[in-house]
Chains A and B, each alone.
Chain A
């Protein structure tokens, strides 16, 4: 059941990312809703939930991206898993923790993308960090923190134990 829910979520998030989200970009950079969703579910639902949703989202995103077919699967799945691991070791997840965690995971995910682009030198790496990595991390953190605040009352700060439910 939860798998179907995640499938449905992925089928909503990825088209939203590719069609309407360019209206909400900053300096031409859009928040990565797939990463935010995988991390939120990972933080709150556990590493397995984050991993499964991340893999689904990554698979769909790879189909609609010009990049290699593995890169979104790996980064989104890894991000969800990492968020789940981080969430498991925290007693209370606050909006500040969520925002900082999302920013860090977004930076790590972007680093994989940057590495896959084979930058010619340090100048290009720095340009990528400055123009894309940091802006996207800020946007991801802001969107994730906002969504967490919105849904915090519903989830009441307790981690959902879902591994068995899957």
Chain B
């Protein structure tokens, strides 16, 4: 009986406290909020432990579901993505190659526009068929107006001269071949000589006058004395000057300006000195004037 009376009293006390809390919440909202926060601080900390545990369990389950159970189509998707990546890599390489080709063509075009000579762009399609000549094969031939003895250049300098042609291709003997000879001049001292290839894959300026003061580092350019190249195209730089006692001339080894092992496009000089049409008109004008009384 005493127990039931005590329970009744406790219930009544609890109801009164709850009613007071409600009244306090409605009548004094900010103070009651502060009080609740003060009381809820430690409770929140206690609650955070099981909350974290359940949360990690939930994440674990979700990961397990997403990582193992729900992965039925991922393998195929992965293969497809790999295929896509390979395809995109290929396309990327092609675009890079196209970009470098465009840059090369742009440089070649700019150089072509600056040249006073008439030139024809050509692609390198092969190397000499034997090991005994330093030559390369171009994709332009007699049908395009290419003839033997025409000079071949790049924006960097002299490449060589055409030695053979057929209807669709031509063979160029490089400046580094011992059978090649080009008239050159040392840019600083204006000493002339003949540039020939050597067995070591370089070139040599021969017949430099004994009293010449040429030195390593001097640049050699075409002299324009032969009909193949116009004046002033770079051939290379002197790397070693040789002067033997008793010789009538000096000679010097040249490092070619053009990297002949990495050529893709070149220009063939079809009319070396100036515009052929303009030259023709000039000649006609001169002859016409002479004919006049």
- Cβ of B163 < 8 Å from any Cβ of A? yes
With A14-B129, A19-B126, A64-B126 known as contacts, the answer to whether A131 contacts B135 (CB < 8 A) is no
B-chain residues with CB within 8 Å of residue A34 when the two chains form the complex: 129
Binary CB contact string for chain B from 140 to 184 against chain A (1 if under 8 A, 0 otherwise): 000000000000000000000001101001011100011100000
- Cβ of A158 < 8 Å from any Cβ of B? no
- Cβ of A147 < 8 Å from any Cβ of B? no
With A18-B137, A64-B137 known as contacts, the answer to whether A113 contacts B199 (CB < 8 A) is no
Cβ < 8 Å to A, chain B residues 5-35: none
Which of the residues B135, B166, B199 comes within 8 Å of A65, measured between beta carbons?
B135
Which of the residues A28, A61, A63, A131 comes within 8 Å of B166, measured between beta carbons?
A63
Which of the residues A18, A28, A60, A67 comes within 8 Å of B126, measured between beta carbons?
A18
B-chain residues with CB within 8 Å of residue A60 when the two chains form the complex: 129
Chain B: residues with Cβ within 8 Å of the partner, total of 24
Q: Which residue of A lies closest to B169 (CB)?
A: A64
Binary CB contact string for chain B from 108 to 139 against chain A (1 if under 8 A, 0 otherwise): 00000000000000000111111111110100
Separation of A66 and B134 alpha carbons in the complex (Å): 8
B-chain residues with CB within 8 Å of residue A14 when the two chains form the complex: 129
A66→B131 contact, CB < 8 A: no
Q: Which residue of B lies closest to A61 (CB)?
A: B129
Cβ < 8 Å to B, chain A residues 43-72: 60-67, 72
Separation of A32 and B126 alpha carbons in the complex (Å): 15
Q: Which residue of A lies closest to B126 (CB)?
A: A18
Binary CB contact string for chain A from 12 to 52 against chain B (1 if under 8 A, 0 otherwise): 00110111001000001110101000000000000000000
A-chain residues with CB within 8 Å of residue B163 when the two chains form the complex: 66
A66→B128 contact, CB < 8 A: yes
Chain A: residues with Cβ within 8 Å of the partner, total of 30
Separation of A15 and B135 alpha carbons in the complex (Å): 15
Cβ < 8 Å to B, chain A residues 137-164: none
Q: Which residue of A lies closest to B173 (CB)?
A: A66
B127→A22 contact, CB < 8 A: yes
Binary CB contact string for chain B from 268 to 291 against chain A (1 if under 8 A, 0 otherwise): 000000000000000000000000
The 10 closest A-B pairs by CB, nearest first: A66-B135, A18-B126, A66-B133, A61-B129, A65-B129, A66-B173, A64-B129, A113-B132, A19-B126, A65-B130
**23 intermolecular pairs with C-beta atoms under 8 Å apart:** A14-B129, A18-B129, A19-B127, A28-B201, A29-B131, A61-B130, A64-B129, A64-B171, A65-B128, A65-B164, A65-B171, A66-B128, A66-B133, A66-B135, A66-B163, A66-B179, A67-B130, A117-B132, A117-B179, A127-B199, A128-B199, A131-B199, A136-B131
- Further pairs besides A18-B129, A64-B126, A66-B135: 20, Cβ < 8 Å: A19-B125, A28-B201, A32-B130, A34-B129, A62-B129, A63-B164, A63-B166, A64-B128, A64-B169, A66-B133, A66-B172, A66-B173, A67-B132, A72-B129, A110-B132, A114-B132, A117-B179, A127-B199, A131-B199, A132-B132
Name A residues whose Cβ lies closer than 8 Å to a Cβ of B: 14-15, 17-19, 22, 28-30, 32, 34, 60-67, 72, 110, 113-114, 117, 124, 127-128, 131-132, 136
